[in-house]
Structure 1
Amino acid sequence: MAHRSLPDLWATLGQADAVHGLYYLLLHGLFGVFGGADPLLVLRLPSVLATAVASGTLALLGRRLAGARAGLLAGVVFALLPPVQRYAQEGRSYAVVCMLVVWASYLLVRAVETRSRRVWAGYAAVMVAACLLHEFAVLAVVAHLFALPRSARRTGLRVAAVVCGCLAPLAVVSMGQSEQVAWIGGVGGDLVGFSAVTVLGLVCAVLLRRDPPARRGPLPGFAPALLVLPAFLLLLSTPFKPLFVDRYVLYGHAGAALLVGAVLDRSLRARGRIRAVAVLATGAALLVLLPVGVGLRTPQSRADDVTAVAEAVRAAGSDGDGVLYMPARRRVWSLVDPGSVRGLRDLALERGPAASHTLYGTEVPAAGIRVRMLATARIVVLRDPVSQPLDGTAQERVKRRVLAAYFVECGTRRVQGARISVYARPGRC
């Protein structure tokens, strides 16, 4: 998407992925400036820098809420959390959104302390930017309102109304593209990982609330709201329309890091056995997180490995073979490395992604796919893993029926997140 011309990109966003439009524009500019650099480096650079800035800003926020050492520890804990490490190396908007929410949280605390209109305006501007990068950042505004002291709530409500007003046009457009989140099923593995961090944060919040109010400070009220409320609001939609994905509320981990940092600081200030236990627990946690962090930097940690997919397609296909994507959205696997399908005929394609102003291109009707498949002796099929549900569109149904009735499966290679199969007419394997 980021490599498309601005007119093509604008036309595509009118049909799909408007929610990520601002991030595509950011990447488009970066590729324009650093076009000669390694494309993977350019793609991931915003996320890496954003995570570093978020960690530093969180340290400043923690310093205001709980003291200098608590803030420093919070920044370190945040950078070590596995979900944060994961999205620090992905070429998507979530780390940048997280950075902006952390920055906005810092500005919010300053605005409450100083009652400065300029700081409130800065908070609003940063939150608008976060929401335009991903709409669910607006849930952080709800958490911020919940955590505000009564004296600041009226101003906070006005600022929240401004943020929501700026987001409204994008929200209206993206509601017309709601089929893009149709893939989200019930809560599963995402919730398990997020729940573990949430439980850790809430245990720390309980420990901090045992302090006298004079020593407690504002952190035990502020951080749990940021950690819990955005995720809880997404989960509330599950019976009607599942929307919970952990990366949508990645910024909630900043709340957990603040709480853990404050508890570590409190433990290190203690004497005797408590301090020794804190040091041992911290060391044990680092030993546990080390292999997790290493694993997150391997292809096996990804939902799919497009490099392995490309290699498997090259090995399976020959000039003149057909290629099918089941479902059609898996055409994205070949967009990263178009050379992997050079010489193969895309049997279902009507118009490519750029020409059709879509994410994955458009496909011919089911009858046309059937005719093209029957005119082909050998087909390379790119499919989801067996555990994934089958799409029920007419085009996908006819692909499955024709393969089952007129072709035999010559072999299948499984790579991370994908199956690459070769089908041929009987006797042609």
Structure 2
Amino acid sequence: MSQSKIIPSVSLAEDFGESHAELKNMLSKMQIQQEVMATQLKEFAALPIVQKSCEYQQLKFLATSLPLFNLPSETFDEWYFKYGEIFREETTSLNDRTKVQLLVSRLGELEFKKYTNSIAPLGVSEPTFRETIAKLMSLFAKTKSLTNRRLQYVQLQKDENEETVSYCLRVDKAFCAAEMGEISTEELKCLMFVHGLKSPKEAELRKWLIERMDEKGSGLKLSDLQNLCEQFKENNSKKPPIKHIAKTESLQAKVWRTLHLDFFHIEQDYILVLFDSYSHWPEVYVNANSKAATIVDAMQAIFSRFGLPHTLVLSCDSSLTQVNSKLFVSYCDDNDIICTAPVGVSLISHEYYLHFKEQLKRVIENRLSTESCIEAIRPLLVEYRNKTFCGAPNQKTTAEIMLGRSLRVKEEAPPTYFVGGMGMIATDYPY
């Protein structure tokens, strides 16, 4: 009679000890995840939700398909760009309140607290889905207002060397960030109305209307915008008379407000010119390449000295890739700089700029073979900045209007030595 072998239970536990520890660790992680989800959804536990069981199951399924939104790993516009299609395509059978529950349940713990505090004393189920999206965009998206994001969207252009796939992706992402899928017919009319205000004379009106549109949110009609224009006009007409001292300050405020921007090349040198339309002060940047990044870097260097302008008049060819590039447009948008064509700008200042441009080109083309471009244009800049142009306030020189003082003349200037590099601002170093 054979005897069966008995395997000790202690030996079995030893064999599976390592697997048991791994399983215990996995269960612990799952429990933590469940606790996090329970914390996020506890606000909804007390809400009276009247739904069909299939609707509830759909909500539950969609919630598991959407990852949590957490800062700073991504902004909300980036998160919604990835998963917004789920809300547009997969939630058509859900009511608005349920869509809000689904969206808010996917917020991280800190993001959920910030959102609930921002809408207090309202509960999370009271704002509509559209209002919830708008609020989350304002809290967790990039800092641009909704109206500015939409204006940026309608101004999108394809870069010359940009791949079609990349351009499509950029259009799709900007569409999502601008919430264009939620825009009404009347809101679109208002957007195009503001988009068409490109004259420097209407810059203040444009800025004021954008602020009003952001304040009022949805529901604004084109007729309301017309009334706001009348209100703006009336407010300006009621301003008190400007005293003499205030007039002097207002004249000074015109300096470096509207600049002519031009970009061209002569032989191997690429020239960027910024020309103040009020003081006629020229700034010239010389570089060896024509990249949009070079132009933006040069602008940033010059603006760090004189401040940001209000308007850039594109005196160059408006079809140039550099000024239509994503980098250039984003830089101007981020700094609230309005770009416009020479149409509507003072013809006198434009004529002065064209005259300076001809002088500049002539000096560069006729320079000595041993002379660099920067060395050739330096005397021209000193001379031009010390001149008085026809119609100048109180017959002041360009430097006196721009800086409040005159410059030393060429003969008095001490020798200045330039150090070679990637690029330089051709400026009047002696002063």
**Counting helix residues as a fraction of each chain, which structure ranks higher?**
1
Larger Rg, first or second structure (1 or 2):
2
Quickly name the TM-score band, shorter chain normalised: under 0.3
TM-score normalised by length of structure 2: 0.25
TM-score normalised by length of structure 1: 0.25
User: Which structure is higher in RCO with an 8 Å CA cutoff and minimum separation 6?
Assistant: 1
